[in-house]
Amino acid sequence: MSTARLGADFFARPTLVAAVDLIGRRLVRVRRGRRLAGRIVEVEAYIGAADTACHAHRGCTPCNRVMFGPPGHAYVYFTYGMHQMLNVVTERDGFPAAILVRALEPEEGVDSMRRRRARAGRLRMARRDAAWTAGGPGRLCQALAIDRGLDGEDLEASPRLFFEEGRPAARRDVARTTRVGIDSAAPRDRAAPWRFILSGNPCVSRR
């Protein structure tokens, strides 16, 4: 398994291409000198202002301006008054597109991730299934201590948050589905198969 970092060039590609290729890679959060890391098993793509499910649909705002910047930067937002969400910006500078990282298979710092999830008060510590730890974008951010303080982070250079090559998934093992939680989007965008999952992995979020 490679620990080499993914650079900005990895994300400076069409979003759907980068999203499929992100399955099996590793997300690493370094906090207080300790690595919290896991294999990416679920992502969603959001592409441009024409995508009514995308935050860029209503234009550039102070909250989403990172999406309009260069690829390879973290776009972190707060939703439903309780959840942080981690995205990575894709494509070219000035074109708003990003990949939402929805679920991890925990690999490093697993006990620390579980303690953070338990302290969040969502479920009892006794429930230790993998999907509970980081199976869903809000859970993932709780487990890895990711919040708006990392919004705009350069993921190629950051000592705090970055991606590693990991173990890329074989294309035959990556399934496509429609995206989750976008009921207000236009029918064509609700139907777009822009969610990618590692087939059969227990850490994929429950719909």
Domain ranges (residues) in the chain = 2-198
Alpha helices for 79-180 (secondary structure H) = 110-119, 130-134, 137-144
pLDDT tens-digit series, residues 43-69: 999 999 999 999 999 999 999 999 999
pTM: 0.94
**Spatial separation of the C-alpha atoms in residues 44 and 25, rounded to whole Å:** 15
- State mean pLDDT over 196-200: 97
Question: What percent of the chain is modeled with pLDDT above 70?
Answer: 93
152's tokens? 């705009």
11-47 burial, b at 16+ Cβ within 10 Å, e below that, comes to: bbeebbebbbbbbbbbbbbbeeeeebbbbbbbbbbbb
In 65-189 the beta strands, taken as DSSP E runs, fall at 74-79, 83-89, 97-108, 161-166, 174-177
In this prediction, residue 121 carries a pLDDT of 61
CATH 3.10.300.10 fits 2-198, yes or no: yes
Residue 134 exposed, middle or buried by CB count within 10 Å (0-12, 13-18, 19+): buried
Within 8 A by CB and 6+ apart from 157, the residues are none
For residue range 65-124, list pLDDT tens digits in order: 999 999 999 999 998 667 899 999 999 999 999 999 999 999 999 999 998 888 876 555
Task: Name the burial class of residue 119, with classes exposed (0-12), middle (13-18) and buried (19+) by CB atoms within 10 angstroms of its CB.
Answer: exposed
- Which burial class, exposed, middle or buried, applies to 197 when counting CB atoms under 10 A from its CB (0-12, 13-18, 19+)? buried
Contacts of 59 (CB under 8 A, 6+ apart): 49
